[in-house]
Amino acid sequence: MFFLPFQALVSRFFDRRRGLALATTLLISMILLILGLWPRRGTVGATLMLALWLFLPLALIFAFDLYKPAYLKFLLAVLPPFHLLLAAGVSRVAYSVFRC
């Protein structure tokens, strides 16, 4: 019979839970981002601008192979549109859930 010390058991349990929590968080974030990218009436231009602001720096970093630790600071430029689109997704979900 194989015996694992208590610390090893605990670390394996928390590694699995951390991985599951990370995967769940990423899945929820991507769903909210997609909902935020879905334009409402009259906001197509603003949504398009936020989408370009989000995806253009990412595409350029990967296209020019700048994904190195020294260049990751330039990914901070995509945080504002990411959070604005997440908020738009949250507001869309809240509106559909709490609509009277």
Which pLDDT band, with edges at 50, 70 and 90, does 1 fall under? very low
Number of domains forming the structure of the chain? 1
Contact of 57 with 74, CB cutoff 8 Å? yes
User: pTM score, two decimals?
Assistant: 0.73
Q: Which domain holds residue 27?
A: 6-97
- 19 assigned to some structural domain: yes
Give residue-wise pLDDT tens across range 21-31.
777 888 899 99
Give residue-wise pLDDT tens across range 13-66.
566 677 777 778 888 999 999 999 998 888 899 999 999 999 999 899 889 888
Cα 6 from chain centroid? 34
Of 93, 95, 97, nearest to 35 (Cα)? 93
Q: What pLDDT is stored for residue 70 in this prediction?
A: 82
- 16 assigned to some structural domain: yes
- 1 assigned to some structural domain: no
Write the CA distances from 79 to 10, 19, 54, 97, integer angstroms: 34, 23, 8, 27
Characterize 59-78 residue by residue with b for buried, 16 or more Cβ atoms within 10 angstroms of its Cβ, and e for exposed. Answer: eebeeeeeeeeeeeeeeeeb
